[in-house]
Structure 1
Amino acid sequence: MKLDKNYWSNRYMSNETQWDAGTITTPLKDYFDQLINKESRILIPGCGNAYEAEYLFYQGFKNVYLVDLSSTPLSNFSQRCPGFPKSHLIHQDFFALDDQFDLIIEQTFFCSLLPKQRPDYARQVFNLLKENGKLVGVLFNDPLFDDRPPFGGNKEEYEVYFKPYFDFNVFEVCYNSIKPRRERELFMNLSKKS
């Protein structure tokens, strides 16, 4: 399976985005609502329709960056949020990105990657985070599919990828998932190891 930009562009153009909740989900909204530093550099990789970025932007966070392999969701987002800086929309492979961020947000990107890429994801997040940076977001805690995205997994598997690079602040079943994902998501708040 070749999960390249054409694959993802076709999924967006044909509205085959079953993972898309259509709005920011509760776990991330609740987390964002307690953030104080609106100058933080925030990255949302594999951003898709980026409802999280829209929410952050309208809450006054001006250093939010989106990266996606497909230009289609970036274009959709730009039309929906015309005031969002175009220079913060990065049409690039996440694994080729070379920058530094205070916070990286995970929302359905991890499950879109081939499972063999998961160790590379953990390493790349570590490399992209500044000292004391955090990886925060949700992961499916569900078998899901093994032949196409979204690919599932479980807490024990994920811990193997992240433990070499991160200290675990929170890594547990979400108490505030949206109804279709209830009991099927883990909330993570991980800090980059020194």
Structure 2
Amino acid sequence: MHFTFKSSFWTDRYEDNQAPWDLNHISRPLKEYIDQLHDKDLSILVPGAGPGHEVSYLYHKGFKNACYLDFSQKAADEFAKKEKNFPLDQILVDDFFMHTGKYDLILEQTFFCAFEPSEAARRKYVQKMYDLLHPGGILAGVWWSFPLNTDQEEPPYGGSKEEYKRLFREKFQVRKIEECYNSEPERMGKEYFCVFRKSMGND
């Protein structure tokens, strides 16, 4: 098993304060996407939530059906300490690929890039997202736009617009893959904002 699929790898990173992907706040692209959502009853999943900035923002905006999911108990415990009023049954410590549930919306932020960047692993991610969404459900968020380096040992792993289109179009309608205009300064020019819609079955 590739080390990125082991919870111990991620727990060690959090315990050693080795989480360079953590902005200490919600990223601007995700914030602006959430701000244009109006249905507060949406069931929402944030997988690989880590510090949980997106989940916190959703919760305080009134999205009471937002769920936190992470592989690391340490990360989940830290989130629970920070968000003392957040429903404990919506803080999920689980292997994403074993998780069951159905959601209207899943938000992606530095999660896809964290796995072993093999074709098989990335197709597994796409299939699992498809399985977790209701028909017509949306997967939206940020994917890296810098090239994938196959010799790179540790995440984050990059990708290309062409790869993302190829991977997702078998299961999803590709609604948007665009360069982020509102990235954080240190990420400007390195991100796509993507929106994928699960097929209704007869689309």
Please state which band the TM-score falls in when normalised by the shorter chain.
Answer: over 0.9
Aligned to 1:127: 131
Q: Which residue of 2 aligns with 1:137?
A: 141
Q: Which residue does 1:176 correspond to in 2?
A: 182
Show the counterpart of 1:48: 50
Distance, in Å, in 1 between the alignment partners of 2:22 and 2:63 is 23
Matches within 5 A, 1:21-170: 21-116=23-118, 117-143=121-147, 146-170=152-176
Q: What RMSD over aligned residues (CA atoms) do the two structures have, in Å?
A: 1.1
Q: 1:169 offset after TM fit, Å?
A: 1.5
TM-score normalised according to structure 2 size: 0.93
The residue type equivalent to 2:187 in the other structure is R
What stretches of structure 1 of length at least 5 have no aligned partner? none
Paired amino acid for 1:60: G
Structure 2 distance, partners of 1:72, 1:164, is 36
2:165 touches 2:174 (CA, 8 Å); kept in 1? no
**TM-score (structure 1 length as normaliser):** 0.97
**1:144, CA displacement in angstroms?**
6.3
Residue 150 of structure 1 aligns with an amino acid whose one-letter code is P
Gaps of 5+ in 2: none
8 Å Cα contact 1:40-1:103 kept in structure 2 = yes
CA contact (8 A) 1:144 1:150 kept: no
Q: For the residues of structure 2 that align with 1:172 and 1:66, how far apart are their CA atoms?
A: 26
